[in-house]
């Protein structure tokens, strides 16, 4: 299928391309839909369950206090899935746009680590909700944090259970064959039991078997993500505020404002694969628009484009297809090594 004719009207693409080429200060606000083509669940709507649990109900401090083993099992599953997924063409397109446009800033709601793995410059992506691969002490007074922990599993008790047939085959194999089989499983998504399926039994993990803080040695480590009811990282918010507050060094010529420094204009805001319902991320498009930006929404669901105004754009479809196409006039064609990299 030619997705360009299926999803993009020529007039919209032409007007967007002309504006993109003139734009320097660009903000992107991607959500879970950015990573959907990489095989990662969005946990939205009818698909928002993990086993029989509403995924959002597990993303709270209270849930961790009540059943840290269950919460860690959920996040261990997500870590495993993310490590075995690959950045898709949209991740690579945004990373290339960042290299071409130094004043482009991505304000990501995703915790899966795929944007960094696509080579997105670190100073041009702000992780609003933290990362699955950071862990920290549950006791804030301790202050311990460990970044970029890619161990899978993080402790043996959180290993994804293997299916019985592969376990039996591995027990009969020579050591070198077993190692090759293990490496093959690691390179795939889930080759064991899919513990997101509620019919698959999961163990009750005692507190003693969960990851503990090596600093205070009394509290548990928890995922370094922002849970519902928690504040976003102060340093991240400070960097975003600094971006929006950056002043234009050229004095304003209007009478009464001569010599007054005004914030720089924002040219364009890309809202990618998000329902724009969680704040403060949901407010960044409006903030950019108030500073002069036109808004482009890329989403499979037209209802997520309900706040568009005259002069904005809506591109319906999968971000992995749409984003590289609408940015092509600036970033060029995707490299052959990047085509088909969705997991």
- Enzyme catalytic residues: 129
Residue 63's closest CA among 222, 224, 209, 210? Answer: 222
Known binding residue 142? Answer is: yes
N residues, the chain = 343
Nearest to 134 by CA among 142, 125, 144: 144
CB 315, CB 63: distance < 8 Å: no
216 annotated as ligand-binding: yes
Instruction: Tell me how far apart the alpha carbons of residues 66 and 220 are, in angstroms, rounded to a whole number.
Output: 13
Residues 6+ apart with CB under 8 A from 175: none
> Are the C-beta atoms of 225 and 132 separated by less than 8 Å?
yes
Q: Tokens at residue 217, please?
A: 């040695």
Beta strands in 252-336 (DSSP E): 268-272, 294-299, 313-316
Q: What is the 3-state secondary structure (H, E, C) of 314-327?
A: EEECCHHHHHHHHC
Which residues make up each annotated binding site for Zn(2+)? 137, 142, 213, 216
């Amino acid at each position: 299928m030619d997705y360009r004719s299926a999803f993009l009207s020529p007039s919209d693409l032409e007007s967007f391309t002309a504006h993109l080429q003139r734009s320097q200060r660009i903000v992107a606000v991607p959500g879970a839909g950015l990573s959907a083509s990489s095989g990662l669940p969005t946990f939205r709507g009818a698909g928002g369950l993990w086993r029989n649990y509403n995924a959002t109900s597990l993303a709270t401090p209270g849930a961790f206090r009540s059943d840290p083993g269950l919460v860690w099992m959920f996040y261990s599953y997500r870590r495993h899935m993310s490590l075995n997924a690959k950045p898709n063409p949209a991740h690579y397109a945004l990373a290339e746009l960042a290299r071409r446009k130094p004043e482009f800033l991505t304000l990501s709601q995703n915790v899966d680590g795929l944007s960094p793995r696509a080579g997105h410059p670190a100073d041009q992506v702000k992780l609003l909700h933290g990362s699955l691969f950071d862990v920290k002490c549950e006791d804030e007074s301790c202050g311990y944090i460990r970044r970029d922990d890619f161990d899978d599993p993080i402790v043996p008790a959180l290993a994804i259970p293997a299916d019985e047939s592969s376990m039996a085959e591995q027990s009969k194999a020579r050591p070198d064959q077993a190692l090759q089989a293990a490496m093959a499983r690691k390179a795939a998504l889930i080759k064991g039991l899919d513990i997101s399926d509620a019919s698959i039994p999961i163990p009750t993990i005692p507190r003693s078997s969960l990851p503990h803080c090596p600093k205070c040695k009394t509290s548990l480590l928890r995922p370094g993500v922002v849970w519902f009811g928690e504040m976003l990282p102060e340093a991240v918010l400070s960097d975003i505020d600094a971006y929006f507050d950056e002043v234009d060094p050229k004095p304003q010529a209007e009478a009464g404002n001569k010599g007054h420094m005004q914030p720089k204009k924002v040219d364009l805001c890309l809202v990618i694969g998000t329902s724009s319902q969680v704040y403060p991320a949901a407010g960044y498009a409006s903030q950019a628009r108030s500073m002069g930006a036109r808004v482009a929404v890329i989403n499979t669901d037209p209802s997520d484009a309900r706040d568009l105004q005259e002069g904005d754009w809506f591109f319906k479809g999968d971000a992995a297809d749409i984003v590289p196409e609408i940015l092509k006039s600036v970033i060029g064609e995707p490299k052959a090594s990047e085509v088909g990299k969705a997991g």
